[in-house]
Structure 1
Amino acid sequence: MLQQFKTSGGKMPDASTFISSEMKEFATTINRIVGQLEDSQQVLRWQSEHDPLTRISNRRHLEKQLKSYLSDRPQAYLVLFLVDIDFFKRFNDSFGHLAGDEALCSVADVLQSVEFHGEKIVARFGGEEFCVVLASDCAFDAEQYAQQMRSKIEQLAIANPVDALCQYLTVSIGGVYAISPKMESYLSLFHQADMALYHAKEHGRDRYVVRNFV
């Protein structure tokens, strides 16, 4: 029985396999405790990999997945987007943190909803910035995808009178498109996407800039 207990992941045989009522009760109790521990481990694992507000992946999980894309199962085509909500600090200061939190959750939902036939991860990168990684064995139009994200977020029609140029909350997007990137490209992908995001902001915000990885 001890060997079976070890090989079954710490669970006892089903209570029905025992004859005495004491062993039936003991097996039932042990299996219930083991089940509760397994559930707790799953909850803790989920919490360690997800943002508690938006319930999408956090930066830790993003980095883990991206490294997997680059090493364990390298994809032929990969794009990394950094998505930043325009003038979010002013929005937050004007309407309060509750409205700010609702806006963050709405943007996260939109980023998850944009369809892609391949590997995809959406993560909160920090503050009002998100990261979207797409990976596929087939070539795809990264600029078209960026435009879908930008327009769908604007279509949320979240009023933003603090922006003199647009009445609704908008985003700036910087992306880098790579063909067969390797693990040594990891930091460069973020750096080049960040530079693309900087140029999107410098040219007026509410737009995207996607560049080929170099």
Structure 2
Amino acid sequence: LVLAGLSRGRQREEAHLRSVAETDALTGISNRFALFAREQARLRDPQRAPFALLHMDLDHFKEINDRYGHSVGDAALIAFADVCRGVVRHASDTLARIGGDEFVIVLHELQDPGTEAAAVADRIRTLLQEPLDLLGHKLALKVSVGVAVAHGPVELEAFLHQADVALLDAKKDRGSRHTLFERNLHGNLIHELEEALGAG
């Protein structure tokens, strides 16, 4: 009985440590470590395809931090995580904060991944149209979203890169939109960067 009690105590402690290691301390959602721990194997499974990945970045977040302070910036991140929690459709989907003001949603159980991912992105942007009360400041958050779609097995690192390329395109001009990754996007962005460097 004593050994069984010790074993249960150790299991609880290990579960607690694992939860701490896989949880973003600020928002309470999964962190980058948890994203890779959960999704790396699942995205390699052809039986689970298709998939969609949304890479989201708050527009002008640095300005919020600079103008209102880091406490309001943190409140904005918490509020955004709560909005995303509300649009995650299935327990099989994963929501994670992967750093700074960057968030990821991996969508599973899809019929039409491009359309369904776009609908999730639109839903998030619609919910953010109402100003949020962030520690006494009424602020309307805006978000840019890069979307990548896979119809078969995919490596998570490559999937994130595709969504990141789409996100860079979504943030052009004034941002606050979503872009679906296409093969020519990467070349277009490199060309634009080379032109900008040449002009400079």
> Do Structure 1 and Structure 2 share a fold, with TM-score over 0.5?
yes
Contiguous gaps of at least 5 residues in structure 1:
1-11, 13-26, 160-166
2:25 maps to which residue?
A: 52
Cα offset for 1:132?
A: 0.7
C-alpha offsets along residues 158-189 of structure 1, whole Å, 9 cap, x if unaligned? 57xxxxxxx62211111111211334xx3321
Q: Report the counterpart of residue 61 of structure 2 in structure 1.
A: 88
Identity %: 33
Q: Which is further off, 202-211 or 125-134? A: 202-211
Task: From 144, 147, 161, give the equivalent of 2:122.
Answer: 147
4+ residue segments displaced more than 4 Å: none
Residue of structure 2 in register with 1:196 after alignment? 166
Q: How far did residue 66 of structure 1 move?
A: 1.9
Give the number of aligned pairs: 178
Residue 129 (structure 1) aligned with residue 99 (structure 2) = no
Aligned-pair Cα RMSD in Å: 2.2
Q: CA deviation at 1:115?
A: 4.3
Give the Å deviation of 1:90: 1.1
Q: Is residue 103–residue 158 contact of structure 1 (8 Å, CA) maintained in 2? A: no
Please list every run of 5 or more consecutive structure 2 residues that lacks an aligned counterpart in the other structure.
185-200
The answer as to whether partners of 1:176 and 1:213 remain within 8 angstroms in 2 is no
The alpha-carbon deviation at position 213 of structure 1 amounts to: 6.9
Taking structure 1 as the reference length, the TM-score comes to: 0.74
Counterpart CA distance in 1 for 2:152 and 2:91 is 15
Counterpart pick for 1:209 among 172, 179, 183? 179
Instruction: Provide the secondary structure at the position in 1 that maps to 2:98.
Output: strand
Q: Residues of 2 paired with 1:52 and 1:118: CA distance?
A: 21
Distance verdict in 2 for CA 1:69–1:127, change over 3 Å: same
- Once the two structures are TM-superposed, the CA of residue 31 in structure 1 deviates from its matched residue by 4.6
Name the CA distance, whole Å, in 1 between partners of 2:150 and 2:55.
15
Partner residue, 2:196? none
Distance 1:137 1:85, change over 3 A: closer
Distance 1:32-1:156 versus aligned 2 partners, 3 A rule:
farther
Give, in angstroms, the shift of residue 143 of structure 1: 1.2
